[in-house]
Every structure is written in C-alpha cells, then in structure tokens.
Amino acid sequence: MKFEKLLFLIFIVSLFVTCKEGRPDKEIALKQPPNILFIAVDDLNTMLGSLDGPAKTPNMDKLAAMGVSFTDAHCQAPLCGPSRASLMTGLRPSTTGIYGMVPDDMIRSENPETTDILMLPEYFKQHGYHTMGIGKLFHMHAPEGMFDDSGGRVKGFGPLPKERFVWDGFGASDRKKYGKTSTDWGAFPEADSLMPDHQSVNWAIERLNKKQNKPFFMGVGFLRVHVPLYVPQKWFDLYPLDSIATMPYKPDDLNDVPAVAKMINDLPMMPSTDWAIENGEWRKIIQAYLACISFVDYEIGRLLEALEQSEHANNTVIVLWSDHGYRLGEKSTFAKHALWDVATRVPLIFAAPELPKGKKIDQPAELLSVYPTLLELADLPAYKRNEGKSLVPAMMGNDQDPSYAITTFGMNNHAIKSKRYRYIQYEDGSEEFYDHQNDANEFTNLVGQQKYQQEIEKLKSLLPKENALWDKNSMYTFQPYFVEQKKRVNGL
C-alpha cells in the first residue's frame, strides 16, 4: 500500500513538472487576473493604416495585429461628453438623458438611472483591482475619487501659440448664439515633450515599471486628435500636401435630408467645406489631422513598448477606442456632431492573450460593449446593469446573430447601423436611409423608395423604446437646436 502511495506521489510530481515545462509563462500567468490597459483617443476617426486608411500608424497597426479590430464600430453619441458617459456607465444616452456635456462629478447627480450605477473603473476596483488613470477618460478626466492613483489632466487642449494660425474659433457664427471652438491647425510646439499626451505616457510608463501587488486597471486618455490640430512639424512632414487626397464631397449633398438634420448640422463656428475649398485649406486641414494621428500613434507606441518590456506583458488585456468619428469635409463641414457614418464610426481594438491575432470583424459593434467585454475578458461576473453585450463571442467566432449599432444625438434622434444599411429617425419622425453597399458616402437618401420599406421597418423596430428627458446637468450650448430642444422637452 505504501508503495502504491509512493508511485502515485511520483506520478503527481512528474505531471506537475511536465505541465510546467510544457506550458509557456504566458499561459501560467493567465492563472492570475489579467491587468487592463484602457486607451482612449479623442476625436480619432477610422483613417488608421490597419483600417486601410492613409494615416501612418505603425503602432496602432501592431496592436491590431496582436488582437481583434472591429472595422464597423460606432459610438453611442457623436459628442465626447455623452459618448464617454455612456461607455463608462454602460447605459445608453436614451436611458440616462445624458445627451450633451456633463461635468464628471454630476454624471450620477440627480439622475435616477445613474445614481447608483457602478462605473467601469469602479467595477474593477470592487473586484480587487488597483485603478489608475491619467488624461481625458471621461469628459474632463474622471469623477473625484474614481481612481486609486490619478494623474489628472492638463486643462484644455494646449499648448497654444500666442496667436491662432488660421481659424479664430468663431468663423461665421453669431457670437451670442454659438461658443468659441478650439478649431485651428498648424505646426506647434517644437517638441513632443511639450505635449500633455507625452507627459501622460511618461506617467503611465513609470507605473508600468513598478511592482504591482494587485491586478491593475490603467486608463490613459489622449487629448489629440482633438482640435486644435497642433503637433510638432516633424509629424506634418510625414504628409506632403501634394500627396493628400480630399474626401468625397457634393455641394448639394444635404438637399435630401430633413430639416432637423440641417439644424443639427448648423455649425458656423467650424470651417465649412466650401470655405476650405475657396481658401485652399482643405488639404492643409487633412494634413494637420493626419499629423496628429501619427503623433498619437507614436505616443501609443511608447506605452505599448513599456508594457511589452514590463513583467505585465503576458497578462494584460488592451482595449483602444475613440469617443466618436470626425468629418474632414464630408457633409459640408469639419466636425463630429452628426448621425452620419463618418461622425459615428470609430476604431475599436481588443488584444488579450486568449484572443485571435490579426482578426478583423466587419459586423457593427458599439462602444457600449466595451464595459461587458472587458468584464468577460477579465473573467469577472457580468454587471446586470450593462445595456451593451460582450463582444467576446464575436471575437471567438461563436456569435452568429446579426448585430446593430445605435447612435443617439439629442433626445429621440437615432441612427441604426446594420451591416449594409443606415437608418436615421429624428424627433419629428423624419427619416434618412442609406445603402452602404452602393453608397458608402451616404450621398442619396433612399427613404422614399418602396423596395427598401421592409428593411426600414426592420431597423425602425430596433429604435430605443425609452427616450429619457434631458438630464438636468447635461447640456450642449454650442448649437441652438440642443438648447431649444432641452427647454422644450423638459418644459423649462
């Protein structure tokens, strides 16, 4: 009997040694809860090299090769404040009424839907994570006390030259009705080290090099590509003006869209496409935008390299996302602020040890899914309040159901993107419908054509059933339409 016990003990020991020698450190590390590196890039559209765009983005392309890219991902609001509030709460704007900007500390204030919500970093903190964050993660930085270790955020979108280079921030707008924007473009300052994003990465690298006693959640929020489109000259040099192609544009493009769409698109504080053409600035604006993308890509590369060289390299889940798209002359202007595709489509990349490498998924996806997806990748319990669905089944090839993405801009204005079509319905019932298979630029509104009515009805059935009133602390004063809508629907 003793001999049998001895043989059994030898067998167990040999099995342990064999497993240890036969499995790489990466797999052993997965026994520990994975860290989360949460990368947010402001105003970044889908011009990345890995998405077949013209931007030189070797580091984001490398990240895409490490994991899974969603090529048709969309924000829940084409404006940074409500988009980020939606992602961080896991709730749709139509559920919370957060349709405009909201101070970070007031996301939960006086709002019955968000009063007791656990925001994304908090959920990880409650499950034993050490949370860290720097830069623009929520609208400003983060609510007070959100992170165990906060690097804050440099105010504004500087550094700024003494005088603007091209655009005064008001354009042709009535200064009593519209706010001044940061819109401007040109080479400034002289060195990357003067940019807040560079300093944010330094902060993050310092912490990646530290020994961590707990799994960590680290959020790094980049200010660029948000206007002003200022980065050092070397990034402009990557894009000679004569190599830049402008965007598809029709001067009469908005003739077939509803009146509400035109009111929402009333953005005289931004450069119009016609102005950019007449003044020879169109290629220069695109050049500046591309330069900003390449600068951010370089900083993301520094961050990824530090992670790769750290002890956390083999046990970290990475997600990269942008809060909304950005128009560079499409639909008559240079801005986000719309329910059309170029304003809502965003990069969305996940990389994790167990995920496929270099995979692209062209089904629609929502930023609302970031919260539940990270929970599943970290093997944490699902949060029942999340309104988005985890994208892990789709990334692993186990989700065969058709997917849709819903974007909301103001109360009861929604866009729904299916794989082929985009349907938009505004608060007054007016509509737009586009067939991306034949019209990727959304030039022709097909809503009146009988052959599409069945598809329109199908997408219309997916519209949010609830349209909350405007949150008391949420507003957007740059466009008269939203000021008027809030007053009207809330009875102010």
Per DSSP, the residues of 18-87 read HHHHHS-HHHHHTTSPPEEEEEEETT--S--GGGT-SS--HHHHHHHHHSEEEEEEE-SSSSHHHHHHHH
d(CA 87, CA 74): 11
Q: Are 417 and 78 in contact (CB under 8 A)?
A: no
Terminal Cα distance for the chain, rounded: 86
Give the contacts of 169 (CB within 8 A, at least 6 positions apart). 180, 181, 182, 183, 184, 269
Q: Are 80 and 323 in contact (CB under 8 A)?
A: yes
Give the contacts of 99 (CB within 8 A, at least 6 positions apart). 77, 82, 93, 408, 409, 410, 411, 470, 471, 474, 476, 482, 486
Q: Are 373 and 83 in contact (CB under 8 A)?
A: no
Nearest CA-CA partner of 212 in 302, 346, 310, 303: 310
d(CA 442, CA 475): 29
Q: Quick one: 409 exposed, middle or buried, by C-beta within 10 A (0-12, 13-18, 19+)?
A: buried
d(CA 121, CA 147): 7
80 is catalytic: yes
> Could you tell me the sign of the dihedral formed by the alpha carbons of 239, 242, 243, 247, in that order?
positive
Nearest CA-CA partner of 219 in 323, 136, 122: 136
DSSP-assigned letter for residue 330? G
Tokens representing 239 are 């894009």
CA 21 and chain centroid, separation:
41
Point out the catalytic residue in the list 74, 130, 139, 226: 139
d(CA 326, CA 399): 30
3-state secondary structure 103-120: CHHHCCCCCCCCCCCCCH
Point out the catalytic residue in the list 74, 75, 80, 130: 80
Angle among Cα 400, 36, 82 to the nearest 5 degrees reads 75
Query: Would you name the residues annotated as active-site residues?
Result: 80, 139
